[in-house]
Amino acid sequence: MSKIDFERTREVDVDDIVKTIPVVCSWCNKIYHIKQWSVAAGSPTGITHGICPDCEEKQQIELDKFLNEKDQNEK
């Protein structure tokens, strides 16, 4: 990388701004978290998806149930 390229990259970093992005649960569509991250100016932002603690717990219970049933079927 030449010196000029490096300086141009630094300029972009200075323009970075911190945006707040809501994280929506894919299961119940509830906003459960607000994320803050630094993005380059002009880059598209929107919402991001994840799983909220409530749904994560439900999924874990379902998974345990599924694994238990599988276990019993195999015996």
Contacting positions for Zn ion (CB under 5 A): 25, 27-28, 52, 55
Separation CA 44–CA 71 (nearest Å)? 46
CB count within 10 Å of CB 27 equals: 15
Q: How far apart are CB 56 and Zn ion at their closest, in Å? A: 8
User: 39 vs 61, which CB is nearer to Zn ion?
Assistant: 61
Q: How far apart are CB 46 and Zn ion at their closest, in Å? A: 19
User: 60 vs 68, which CB is nearer to Zn ion?
Assistant: 60
User: 17 vs 61, which CB is nearer to Zn ion?
Assistant: 61
- Residue-wise burial string across 53-73, b where 16 or more C-beta atoms lie within 10 A, e elsewhere: eebeeeeeeeeeeeeeeeeee
